[in-house]
Structures are given as C-alpha cells and as structure tokens.
Amino acid sequence: MGNLQIICVLLFSLFLAKCYSREDFLRCLFKSSESNVTQNIYTPNSLTYSSILKYAQKHSRWVNSSQPNFIASPTKESEIKPVILCAKKLGLQIKIKSGGHDYEGISYRSEFPFVMLDLSNLNKTEIDLNEETIWVQAGATLGQLYYAIANQSNVHGFPGGICFSVGTGGLISGGGLGTMMRKFGLAADNVVDARVMDVNGNILDRKKMKNDLFWAIRGGGGASFGVILAWKLKLVRVPEKVTVFTVCKKFDDNQNLILKWENIAHQLPDKLVIRVVIQNDGTGNDKYVEMRFQALYLGPVDELIPLLKEKFPEFDLEKKDCLQAPVGDRSNRSCINKECRETSWIGSVLYFYERETTSSLEVLLKESIPKQKSYYKGTSDFVKTQISESGWEMVERLLLEEESPRIILEPLGGKLDEISESEIPFPHRKGNLYNIQYLVYWHDNNENVSSQKIAWMRKLYKEMEPYVANSPRTAYLNYRDLDFGSNDDDYSYSKAKIWGEKYFNCNFERLAKVKSKVDPNNFFRTEQSIPLYQTY
C-alpha cells in the first residue's frame, strides 16, 4: 500500500469517526455480539467511567490529557471481537491497555476519537507444574503472575520485571528485562505460546499464526499487530534459597567502583545480577550522589560471600549481614551502608519492589491508585564500551543540578549473549554491556515545572551521546520515548525507521513486513506503532 492509499484510508476513518454517534457504536455492538457486550462498555456519562480511567492512568503525567470516547472492559475474550469490528466500521482507534505503566501514556490517550480496550478483567492464570508452564491472560499484572507461581511452588519462578503492578500484556510484548535475565533471558524469551485476536476478530494460537506473527509479538510490541489475549510461559527452576543485598556508596568517593562494575558485571556468573541505582541524597549544600548496588544471587549466602570477596571485596559483605532481622520499613528508609537477606525467590521479588522479604504475598495483588501523584519523564540507552571517568563526572554534575533524578544500570551478558539478536525483535544482545534507564520526577505538573524537568532530561540524554551505543543509538521499547519521533498522519515507514531502529535495529524491517501482512489497513496504530512496509 502506497502513501496515498494510506492517507485516504486514514482520512476516511477520521471522516467516519466524526460522523458517528455514541448510539451508533452501542447499536453496532449489540448487533455484532451474541451476548450483551454493552454492559461492559462505558462512556463519559457512565457512573464508573472516571474510576476505571483513573485506575488505568497509572502515569500521573497523562491524567486527563485526553478521554476515550468509550472504555471497553471485557470479562471474556469473546467480547473483544465486536469492539474491534465496530471500531473499524465507525473509524474509531483502539488503544490497548493491560497495565497502564507506559511512559508516554499512549495506551489511554489519543488525538483522535478512540476506544480504550481495558484488559484488566482478563487476569486469570492456569499453571501446570508437570509441564512447568503457566497460561496468563494479558490483563494480569506481574504481581498476579508471581502470586500464582509462588502459591503453587517454591522452586519455580519467572524472569519478569521488578515493578509488579505492570501488566503482563505490555511488558512481555516489549521484551521484559528483569533480575533473572542473565540466567534465563528476557520474559519474551520464555514465551512458548500465545493467544492473539487479529484485526478480523479471529483468535490465533501459535499453530494458527502465520507470517512470523508469533515472532513479532515477543518483543516487537503486541499492540501493533492485534490484541494479545494470553501468554503461555515457560517456568524456570529456582533454588529454595536465594540471596539479595544492597550496598550503598557515595559516588565521589567510589568512582573506581562504578568503572570496575562496568568492566565485569556482564561477565559475572549468570546466577548473579548486580544492578546500580544512581541518584541524589541529602539536601542543600549537603546534597551528594549515591550509588546503590542491588543484587540477586540465585543461591544461598554461603555460596555468594566467597564470590563477592573475589569479585567485589569493596562491598565488605559478610554472612552475618545476611542473617540479621530486618529493621523498619524498607520503602521509607534512607540508603544504609549495606543490607542482605537470604530468602525465597518470591521474597526477592518483594525485596526489589522495596518490600520486606517476609511480607504477605497479598501485597502482590494490591490494585491501589497512588495517593500522592508523581510525574516523571524516562528514556534509555544501551552501552557497549566503558564510560570514561570524565563521562561519569559529567553524570554526577548533571545529577546534582536536579532535585529528583535517577539512573538505573542493568548488566546484560550471560544467557542474553547466547541468543541471536534476530531470535525475537529485541536485538540488544551480545556486545552490549548494560542498559541505562534515565528518570526524572516532579510533584507539580504545571507547565513551567514539567518543561524544566523535561528540558533537563533532554540535556542529560544529549550529553550521554558520546558514551553509549551508536549507529543507531539504541533504546528499550518498554521505556518508550516519543522524543525519538512519532508516526505522522501518513504513517510513513521511512520516517518511522528513525525511531524504530533505535528499539529494534535490523529487526525493524521484518516487523514492518509482518505488520503489512497481518494488518494491511493499519487499523492497530499508535504514535509509535509499527508502520506498513514500503519500498521506493
């Protein structure tokens, strides 16, 4: 399909959307479904519309930025088909929300009339310990997934992300970095089957998927190709005892330590991941930059301590540090010199989300809306060569300029090095030392404050350019950043390559070819959806 045809399709869709009425959409749903789908369709006049939208908009920065014309909250997979067919018929966009954490809020906002497809009610899990797999519906959070596993086994886990209120639909379709990726790969590397609803309302599993669709949805962003309904995941074997620890150091006194970490973190035994969180501490003239080395070792403390004494004696971690009872609430505690726990795998999940390892598993199921609003801007890089000392001095200087910045470094290597960069769309494999996530937070979202914070982030990102991967400069899809570019009205392939190759490198072209086959009229589209493939 050429540019002119695409523009004509989009203009016609926009014309239809302007002409429809709410009654048209509801009438279409009623005629297109055997059951009363409309009971789970909400308009701005519905009593529960606001509460559903508020829960969906987990990133406060985008609250009230735009409102869906309809919210569809299906309780059964079959209720999704009429939503797709009627949205197509009336020229409405569909935005698909599983967890609602996406950095740019594109799953619940749009400049065009749209339906927000809220999958949070599709959250069932079905575990098979004999097969060592679990089916999880796309609306389930990571917490619900982890809870289901931990309730059935203390020797199984899953290599997903840290924040357990994230939706599995979005996290896995974007790749899924996590604390066990060096041992087991990404979340998407451990998908063995899936259920997807295509643009015609057909439900496809792996056997029925054609045209590399199964390849595309595991790291290529599922919402570009259809509606991810469920994943079948391979469970991994974990020890009954694992060890977690945090060691805190002042940046200006320990710059050699971060240089050492850069050199060896990706080469450590794959049972050990040591990530680094770099941020401000203190206030006024006492403000300084600190580094928190946070680690998971898939084994008992007796195995970990000799390894650390060999690789990182600077941590000064002893066995006794790991056997002391926890003190206070981790979520409200300032960074202490060091702490350590020997725990279960599920205890490590709680630890990395700033909960005690002994907390009730019910914490994993909480679905609360944060009482205090926090706004943020995020972006990312991958690093292939060690950052120079002068580079880190620049980072320290810029962090001290800002009130609430954070940089998170996550080492790669291990299993990730063994998987081809074209095995799934996520290409950031061998040759990458670590991933960087940049974040800046603020508590007042007025235009002056937010503009200042975003300008600072863009300055940091620009200053980092000489030190990170280039040609192309790469990024992680799940830390989506519209600063890289977004689709214009014509959804041009050549323009989309500018940002698409940052996320997918050489896999972008293949993704566009899959898109052209499974969704030739570009119905599933967003600001950074995969465009149709075009040759010139």
Q: pLDDT tens digit string along 4-62?
A: 555 554 544 554 455 556 789 988 998 887 777 888 999 999 998 888 888 777 666 76
Q: Domain end: 118, 145, 172, which one?
A: 118
The CATH number linked to 25 is 3.30.43.10
Lowest-pLDDT choice from 36-40, 105-109, 333-337, 468-472? 333-337
Q: Could you tell me how far CA 22 lies from the centroid of its own chain?
A: 33
- Which tokens sit at 514? 């899959």
Please name the residue that has the structure tokens 């989309």.
496
- Among the listed ranges 114-118, 291-295, 327-331, 468-472, which one has the minimum average pLDDT value? 327-331
Residue 328 belongs to some domain of the structure: no
| 261-271 per-position pLDDT tens digit | 999 999 999 99
Distance CA 89, CA 40 (A): 19
Of 65, 96, 118, the position where a domain reaches its end is 118
The verdict on residue 267 lying in a domain is no
Q: How does residue 1 score in pLDDT terms, banded at 50, 70 and 90?
A: very low
The total number of structural domains in the chain stands at 3
The parent domain of residue 501 ranges over 484-535
Please indicate, yes or no, whether residues 220 and 140 belong to a single structural domain of this protein.
yes
* Count of other CB atoms within 10 angstroms of residue 410: 24
Sign of torsion over alpha carbons 13, 17, 20, 26: positive
Q: What would the DSSP string read from start to end of 115-163?
A: EEEE-TT---EEEETTTTEEEEETTSBHHHHHHHHHHH-SSEE----S-
Q: Are residues 114 and 218 in the same domain?
A: no
Q: Are residues 112 and 138 in the same domain?
A: no
Asked which of 190, 209, 237 is the last residue of a domain, the reply is: 237
Quick check: is 520 in a domain? yes
Widest pairwise Cα distance in the chain: 70
Please give the Cα distance from 414 to 429 (Å, whole number). 10
Strand 242-250 vs strand 70-72: parallel, antiparallel, or unpaired? Answer: unpaired
Torsion of CA 395, 166, 128, 137, to 10 degrees: -140
CATH number, domain containing residue 139: 3.30.465.10
∠ CA 347-248-300, rounded to 5° = 35
Considering the domain boundaries, does residue 337 fall inside one? no
* 496-522 pLDDT per residue, tens: 999 999 999 999 999 999 999 999 999
- How do 114-118 and 70-72 pair as beta strands? parallel
